């Protein structure tokens, strides 16, 4: 029996999401949906890990988490009790180029939730005893991170590709954590968490007029300030292949990542690059998976994905493999990069890849909260107003020849960083045959 052909979706209706600016510069966005009595709200700031000073990469994350540690009128316990009593889920997140605090709540808890949010962002007090507890929790988290091969591989990729660039700031050290104090964390917060260029999103049963009134009442007096800026030097070009081995004693597998620089998120060719990546390793029917898992049996799964930022981007292709096939697996990944530069997808392969991307996008449109997150992403990265409205036709319009062009421009195995996390005794000699080798310990030090 032959499998059914994939259907062709019509373009979806991406809603108009106007913003309203409060007197202090904060922009309020609403995605109204009255079907369920649940609301999602998030406050997004344009500063992320890139704003950490070189001398301390812990400050931005500590500042973001500390707003839950107490205000001038509430203790950390008071805040925690209020969240529990009102059944409000709270979260904070620091990414590369933006940070956020979010709440999920029932409709009848919107006023108290916004009042609490306004209190936290306007009146955070950074108690010394709570900062000490936070540092203890983060210290345990850092220890756990460094036991994970995936984290070590990712860290090494970013520090190698983006050496001496803000995008290299992907992880903090215990020394930075220990050095952070109340004054430095508070100063970081006051400098970067300002309403100018920040966005407040409300998604659920609330209209624009109500959202503006509530935003002005609870966040309108939040002190104005000058939004921070940062200089982005041009990342150094990868002149050739660099091979990095992170020595993780007693590892029974090898974690492999192959990376190269690509495009900023707002580049006109970014969608074509997404299609090219989908062909390469975006799913279980992509070339990397079919090669390394289905044909060779080296791994349970091999994939690739893109990381796109405001000023640059990179691709990451990799797998966790049996140690004895580490070099062979790397060679197969590099071969697939080269094959896509020589052999464009056929009609069926291209259609499948487009369909997968479109399906993933449609799933992101399932809830008002997910639509709002897409809109915030569009604004943060300064994408065109009609970017998501035209996303499906743009994906459908990518040709096999355009995929070939993207692969030839960016999937170059000779201008790549190959990172392996493994026990050096088992793989070092073979990795020397792949390219110029650098060996690091699990703390990122050359050995």
pLDDT, tens only, 279-335:
999 999 999 999 999 999 999 999 999 999 999 999 999 999 999 999 999 999 999
Q: What is the mean pLDDT of the chain?
A: 94
Between CA 183 and CA 340 the distance in angstroms is 52
Residue 340 has pLDDT above 80, yes or no: yes
pLDDT category, 9, cuts 50, 70, 90?
Answer: low
- What is the model's pLDDT at position 1? 57
Residue 272 has pLDDT above 70, yes or no: yes
Between CA 146 and CA 158 the distance in angstroms is 15
- What is the model's pLDDT at position 40? 97
- Could you tell me the two tokens for 409? 């421009």
Residue 224 has pLDDT above 80, yes or no: no
- What is the model's pLDDT at position 10? 61
Give the model confidence (pLDDT) of 102-146 as tens digits.
999 999 999 999 999 999 999 999 999 999 999 999 999 999 999
The share of the chain scoring above pLDDT 90, in percent, equals 89
The 3-state DSSP class for residue 30 equals strand
- What is the model's pLDDT at position 232? 86
The alpha carbon torsion through 208, 213, 215, 216 (nearest 10 deg) reads 140
Say whether 242-440 and 19-219 share the same fold.
yes
CATH code that applies to domain 19-219: 3.30.830.10
Residue 226 has pLDDT above 80, yes or no: no
Residue 40 CB neighbours (<10 A) = 21
What are the CA-CA distances from residue 144 to residues 39, 57, 346, 443 (Å)? 34, 18, 44, 12
Residue 349 has pLDDT above 60, yes or no: yes
Between CA 300 and CA 66 the distance in angstroms is 40
- What is the model's pLDDT at position 124? 95
Between CA 276 and CA 285 the distance in angstroms is 13
* Domain limits, the chain: 19-219, 242-440
Residue 389 and residue 212 in contact, taking contact as beta carbons nearer than 8 Å: no
Residue 437 has pLDDT above 70, yes or no: yes
This prediction has a pTM of 0.93
Domain at 242-440, CATH from 3.30.420.10, 3.30.830.10, 3.60.21.10, 1.10.4190.10: 3.30.830.10
Residue 3 has pLDDT above 90, yes or no: no
- What is the model's pLDDT at position 234? 87
- What is the model's pLDDT at position 184? 97
The share of the chain scoring above pLDDT 70, in percent, equals 97
- What is the model's pLDDT at position 6? 53
- Could you tell me the two tokens for 334? 């590099």
Element housing 311 (H / E)? none
Helix, strand, coil fractions of the chain, as percent rounded to 5: 45, 20, 35
Residue 440 has pLDDT above 90, yes or no: yes
Q: Which residue has the tokens 């955070």?
A: 124
- What is the model's pLDDT at position 18? 85
Name all contacts of 385-390 with Cβ < 8 Å and 24+ positions apart.
388/14, 388/361, 389/11, 389/14, 390/11
pLDDT category, 46, cuts 50, 70, 90?
Answer: confident
- What is the model's pLDDT at position 8? 54
pLDDT category, 236, cuts 50, 70, 90?
Answer: confident
* Contacting residues for 386 by C-beta, under 8 A, at least 6 apart: none
């Amino acid at each position: 029996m032959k499998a059914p052909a994939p259907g062709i979706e019509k373009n979806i209706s991406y809603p108009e999401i106007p913003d309203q600016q409060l007197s202090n510069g904060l922009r309020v966005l609403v995605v109204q949906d009255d079907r369920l009595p649940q609301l999602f709200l998030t406050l997004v700031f344009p500063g992320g890990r890139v704003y950490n000073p070189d001398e301390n990469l812990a400050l931005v994350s500590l500042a973001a988490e500390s707003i839950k540690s107490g205000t001038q009128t509430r203790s950390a316990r008071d805040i925690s009790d209020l969240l529990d009593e009102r059944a409000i889920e709270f979260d904070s997140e620091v990414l590369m180029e933006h940070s956020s605090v979010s709440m999920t709540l029932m409709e009848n808890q919107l006023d108290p939730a916004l009042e609490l949010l306004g209190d936290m962002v306007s009146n955070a007090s950074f108690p010394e005893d709570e900062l000490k507890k936070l540092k203890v929790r983060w210290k345990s988290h850092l220890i756990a991170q460094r036991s994970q091969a995936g984290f070590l591989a990712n860290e090494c990729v970013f520090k190698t590709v983006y050496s001496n660039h803000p995008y290299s700031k992907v992880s903090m050290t215990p020394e930075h954590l220990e050095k952070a104090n109340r004054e430095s964390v508070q100063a970081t917060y006051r400098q970067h968490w300002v309403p100018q260029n920040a966005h407040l999103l409300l998604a659920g049963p609330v209209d624009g007029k109500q959202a503006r009134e509530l935003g002005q009442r609870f966040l309108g007096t939040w002190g104005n300030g000058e939004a921070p800026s940062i200089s982005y030097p041009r990342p150094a070009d990868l002149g050739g292949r660099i091979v990095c081995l992170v020595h993780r004693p007693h590892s029974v597998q090898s974690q492999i990542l192959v990376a190269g620089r690509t495009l900023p998120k707002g580049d006109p060719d970014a969608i074509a690059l997404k299609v090219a990546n989908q062909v390469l390793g975006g799913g279980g029917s992509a070339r990397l998976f079919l090669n390394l898992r289905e044909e060779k049996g080296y791994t349970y799964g091999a994939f690739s994905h893109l990381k796109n930022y405001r000023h640059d981007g990179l691709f990451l292709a990799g797998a966790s493999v049996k140690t004895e096939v580490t070099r062979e697996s790397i060679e197969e990944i590099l071969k697939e990069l080269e094959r896509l530069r020589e052999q464009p997808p056929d009609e069926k392969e291209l259609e499948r890849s487009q369909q997968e991307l479109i399906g993933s996008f449609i799933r992101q449109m399932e809830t008002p909260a997910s639509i709002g997150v897409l809109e915030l992403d569009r604004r943060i990265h300064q994408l065109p107003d009609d970017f998501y409205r035209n996303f499906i036709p743009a994906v459908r319009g990518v040709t096999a020849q355009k995929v070939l062009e993207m692969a030839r421009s960016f999937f170059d195995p000779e201008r790549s960083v190959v990172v392996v996390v493994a026990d050096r005794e088992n793989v070092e000699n073979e990795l020397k045959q792949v390219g110029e080798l650098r060996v690091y310990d699990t703390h990122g030090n050359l050995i």
